[in-house]
Chains A and B, each alone.
Chain A
């Protein structure tokens, strides 16, 4: 069974269309990166998936209709919607007590052991913790829940590099077990490239690109041609060209690596570079 399945998913706010007929299917055990510019519709999509807002079209999350069965869904789904949502008056011990009191799949011992690795004191209030500690606390609560789907919407926004790194390491080492599914949005794409199994670009409420990371690696090639072979490389129709320190970098879609190798330095592009290429082309297309 797919963890998330959407057909013709639409959502509009007044006259603005936030999601324009989205079809998607996310299988169990995947880690999907949802990437797009601000206002692209990422958070709207996640809010639909989490049953926080009504929508049009078909949407199934672990076999449930999220809008009709949010309460039931939340027994199987966890989410962290950026760092600042734990109420400031809440004590750490109260947070643990409360989640234990309402969540049938919460494992208190697990949460305690995650917290034991941090500097967080049990009787501190959230307002007394640093931003990084709040995220550690939220992560400890969420990781102690035996859920099928974890949704992270900009979970590391405003955190320093150390905490961001630690966040994803913990997630991958202590939580992900290949039966769970994780959906994550972030602007720091480079940092999660290594952990993703799938990626999806969203722009203007539509899916601009969707592929697995294996496909991504075989399909897209970046070439830094030698000066004398630039014309030859351009003749192979790159999808995008950018200049770095006076050197051209060409991005190819579906090119034969063996054919490109003699022309210069060949490598797999970063998601961020592909993102710029895809979104840049779309912007040009829209302007034309």
Chain B
């Protein structure tokens, strides 16, 4: 290690390995997606902002609402106090799903339409890494973004509500008993996980259509299943395709939650969760296999389609 030539001959390959270690094609590809699709975080934020704005106006009536709810039967009381919270958090979650749909439809199509795919492909990022990074957005990034925003939203609503109610005789207690923060946050997280995994084949389908169609991705993605269903109905008088689509869009709720009892005197969504039934259901795992197949097709399409 004393001679200059020794160290320099060792340094060159070392520098190379360092450079290799520094490059993270996958992480940067995901970051790239967020640069292009700012709606991923802006849309849920805007919806949350609107909801909060509505709630701030409601605050003026809140003391009155709480006071008059005291005399109501339990479930009416629940509707008055908890429903705004449920609507608020669910609207953020649903916004996330809508953004995911449009994101997927554009993800592999925009780059072909604006020819920027020629730029992306001039860099050492494989088609697998590219498609995988795009699939990460609806499968991981959006659920996390939406959960964080929904959590903060309900927290703000609780805090603002409590601040207003502190000055009243009723106090803020009713708010926290009807919307228990820890339980509702757990429920939101559970909802996000089960919905995302269950809808994975839908995202896979959308990404594949995005890689396949030249344009009008939304029409292709929606009209193909509807068309199949209509043809089946007319030809065979059966409705397998239609019920399959319905099952895929909302079947997870019946699997992941027990029905609430009739005439409940309280609702504890955590007690209604049935994760074991959900995670052992064939519908989930078949769906995940189908999702992988769609994504593999998308990788193949991105690789094989002519540029532009």
**Which residues of chain A have a CB within 8 Å of any CB of chain B?**
47, 50, 52-54, 70-72, 74-75, 78-81, 84-91, 94, 97-99, 101-105, 138
Contact = CB atoms under 8 A, between A and B. Distances in A.
Nearest to B123: A102
B57 interface: no
Contacts of A105: 19
B122 A94 contact: no
A101 B23 contact: yes
B36 A87 contact: yes
B27 interface: yes
Interface in B3-60: 16, 19-20, 22-25, 27-29, 31-32, 35-36
A160 B175 CA distance: 68
A98 B121 CA distance: 13
Contact of A99 (B19, B36, B117, B123): B123
B25 A74 contact: no
Given A53-B306, A71-B125, A87-B111, A103 B119 contact: no
Nearest to A87: B116
Given A70-B126, A71-B125, A86 B116 contact: yes
A102 B115 contact: no
Given A52-B307, A74-B124, A98 B32 contact: yes
A71 B124 contact: yes
B35 A91 contact: yes
Contacts, number: 87
B118 interface: yes
Given A85-B116, A86-B116, A101 B122 contact: no
Which of B36, B114, B118, B122 has the most C-beta atoms of chain A within 10 angstroms of its own C-beta?
A: B122
A84 B115 contact: yes
A85 B35 contact: no
A87 B119 contact: yes
B119 A86 contact: yes
B304 interface: yes
Contacts of B124: 71-72, 74-75, 102-104
B126 A98 contact: no
A104 B21 CA distance: 8
B123 A103 contact: yes
Size bracket, chain B contacts? 20 to 34
Nearest to A102: B25
Contact of B307 (A81, A103, A104): A81
Contacts of B20: 104
A94 B254 CA distance: 44
A53 B252 CA distance: 41
B121 A101 contact: no
Interface string B203-245: 0000000000000000000000000000000000000000000
A54 B304 contact: yes
Given A94-B35, A102-B23, A104-B23, A71 B28 contact: no
Given A71-B124, A94-B35, A85 B118 contact: yes
Interface of B: 16, 19-20, 22-25, 27-29, 31-32, 35-36, 111, 114-119, 121-127, 129, 303-304, 306-307
B66 to A, nearest CB: 47
Nearest to A78: B122
A62 to B, nearest CB: 13
Contacts of B111: 87
A127 to B, nearest CB: 10
Contacts of B16: 104
Contacts of A84: 115
A230 to B, nearest CB: 50
Contacts of B126: 70-71
B114 A101 contact: no
8 contacts: A79-B118, A79-B122, A85-B116, A87-B111, A87-B119, A88-B114, A102-B123, A104-B23
Nearest to A142: B122
A132 B299 CA distance: 34
Given A52-B121, A70-B126, A74-B124, A101 B306 contact: no
A209 B115 CA distance: 31
Contacts of A75: 124
B41 to A, nearest CB: 15
A84 B122 CA distance: 14
Contact of B28 (A52, A80, A102): A102
Contacts of A101: 23-25, 27-28, 31
Contacts of B23: 101-104
A74 B126 CA distance: 9
A139 B117 CA distance: 17
Nearest to A95: B119
Nearest to B115: A85
B306 A89 contact: no
Contacts of A97: 28
Given A52-B307, A74-B124, A97-B28, 13 more contacts: A52-B118, A71-B125, A75-B124, A85-B115, A85-B119, A86-B119, A89-B35, A94-B32, A101-B24, A103-B123, A104-B22, A104-B23, A105-B19
